[in-house]
């Protein structure tokens, strides 16, 4: 596992140290779906190439959202998923540099050149192709719209609520993504309150996960267990409006306030502050 810094960026020096002579594959996410951080994949690719290992990137959170060009990135393999850019759920693709051969994970079929057995879902494939075409065609406008709304959301939440941190980097992040950690309260209760108000978000808190464990992503970024409990992830779609963002920015602070009034951690903090 390659360590990351507090904004979720891969530490190149550490990566260099970790790659051994017998390392055959390095796989690093292009953008992280939980904190939105976009890695500098082309820089990382140079390091990996020098070592002779194969470099794969998981570009599921980035493809369709920002320009993704395998040549510019310098990768050997790249994964995408159609549902991330308004294509059908269940569609996806693995791009492989020509000449790169792989041993299939599943055997028993001749489909996809023997790489993966199973009858291809033609409708999903066509749907993903069309979605990719539209995403490419409208990328500039989409980025402008989404990043504008995202920045308004970040500004609104950080401005209106105390003791909230943005997770990830403020500019090197996917355009439709804003993530936070709210101190003194827990993610699931925030989620439920927001949901009751018609706002659908998600959280990486222990309580929201099936394993009841805090997000390994946030912990790897040096965020404490306690703060990670208050994690909140908002994604913005092309259908989201400025009014929607205003509504979230208006609705969220009283919810935080209400939960903090119930929180023994907040009570402790206030006491310490006074004392």
Partner 1 sequence: MPVYSDKVMDHFTNPRNVGEIKDADGVGEVGNPVCGDMMTFYIKVKDNKLEDVKFKTFGCGAAIAVSSITSELAKGKTLEEAAKITPNVVADELGGLPKNKFHCSNLGWKALRKAIRAYATKKGITVQGLDEKGEEEDDEHEEGSTCSA
Member of 61, 81, 214, 236 binding partner 1 (CB under 8 A):
214
Per-residue tokens: 21: 């002579």
What is the token pair recorded at 61? 């959170």
- Whether the CA torsion 110, 112, 115, 116 is positive or negative: it is negative
Total residue count of the chain as it appears in this document = 275
* 3-class state of residue 2 by DSSP: coil
Q: How far is the CB of 136 from partner 1 (least distance, A)?
A: 34
Site for partner 1 in 152-191 (CB under 8 A): 184-189, 191
Among 39, 208, 215, 235, which residue interacts with partner 1 (rule: CB under 8 A)?
Answer: 208
Quote the least distance from Cβ 258 to partner 1, whole Å.
Answer: 9
CA dist., res. 121 & res. 68, Å (int): 24
101 near partner 1 (CB under 8 A) = no
Candidates 207, 219, 220, 265; catalytic one: 207
Does residue 270 bind partner 1 (CB under 8 A)? no
Judged by CB under 8 A, does residue 46 bind partner 1? Answer: no
Using rule CB under 8 A, residue 81 touches partner 1:
no
Instruction: Supply 135's token pair.
Output: 């995403």
Q: How many DSSP H helices and E strands does the chain contain?
A: 10, 7
Per-residue x/- track, 229-268, partner 1 (CB under 8 A) = x-------------------------------xxxxxxx-
State the pairing for strand pair 92-96/164-166.
unpaired
The closest of 223, 224, 184, 229 to 206, measured between CA atoms, is 229
Distance CA 223, CA 226 (A): 8
Q: Using CB under 8 A, which of 100, 102, 123, 192 touches partner 1?
A: 192
The whole-angstrom separation of Cα 273 and Cα 253 is: 21
CB of residue 189 vs partner 1: minimum separation in angstroms? Answer: 6
What are the residues whose beta carbons fall under 8 Å from the beta carbon of 92, sequence distance 6 or more?
60, 79, 80, 81, 82, 128
55 binds partner 1 (CB under 8 A): no
Q: Which is nearer to partner 1, 112 or 257 (CB)?
A: 257
Among 51, 213, 220, 244, binds partner 1 (CB under 8 A): 213
Give the side-chain half-sphere CA count within 13 A for 97. Answer: 15
Q: Which is nearer to partner 1, 93 or 220 (CB)?
A: 220
| Contact call for residue 216 and partner 1 (CB under 8 A) | no
User: Which residues lie closer than 8 Å to 165 by C-beta, 6 or more apart?
Assistant: 180, 181, 183, 227
Among this protein's residues, is 234 annotated catalytic?
no
Between 77 and 227, CB nearer to partner 1: 227
Which is nearer to partner 1, 180 or 266 (by Cβ)?
266
Residue numbers at the binding site for partner 1 (CB under 8 A): 184-189, 191-192, 195-196, 205-208, 210, 212-214, 225-226, 229, 261-267
The set of catalytic residues is 207
């Amino acid at each position: 596992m390659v360590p990351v810094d507090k904004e979720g960026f891969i530490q190149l020096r550490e990566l260099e140290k970790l790659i051994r002579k017998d390392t055959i594959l390095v796989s690093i996410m292009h953008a992280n779906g939980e904190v939105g951080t976009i890695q500098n994949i082309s820089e990382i690719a140079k390091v990996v190439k020098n070592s002779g290992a194969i470099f794969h990137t998981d570009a599921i959170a980035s493809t369709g959202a920002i320009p993704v060009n395998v040549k510019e990135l310098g990768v050997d393999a790249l994964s995408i998923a159609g549902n991330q850019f308004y294509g059908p759920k269940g569609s996806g693709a693995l791009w492989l540099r020509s000449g790169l051969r792989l041993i299939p994970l599943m055997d028993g079929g001749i489909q996809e050149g023997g790489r993966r057995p199973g009858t291809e879902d033609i409708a999903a494939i066509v749907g993903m192709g069309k979605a990719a075409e539209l995403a490419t065609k409208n990328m500039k406008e989409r980025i402008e719209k989404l990043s504008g709304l995202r920045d308004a959301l970040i500004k609104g939440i950080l401005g209106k609520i105390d003791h909230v941190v943005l997770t990830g980097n403020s500019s090197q992040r996917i355009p439709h993504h804003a993530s936070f950690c709210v101190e003194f309260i827990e993610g699931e209760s925030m989620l439920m309150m927001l949901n009751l108000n018609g706002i659908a978000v998600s959280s990486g808190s222990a309580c929201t996960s099936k394993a009841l464990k805090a997000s390994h992503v946030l912990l790897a970024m040096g965020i404490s267990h306690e703060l990670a409990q208050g994690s909140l992830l908002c994604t913005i779609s092309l259908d989201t409006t400025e009014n929607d963002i205003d509504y979230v920015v208006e609705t969220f602070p009283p919810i935080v306030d209400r939960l903090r009034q119930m929180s023994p951690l907040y009570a402790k903090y206030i006491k310490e502050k006074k004392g």
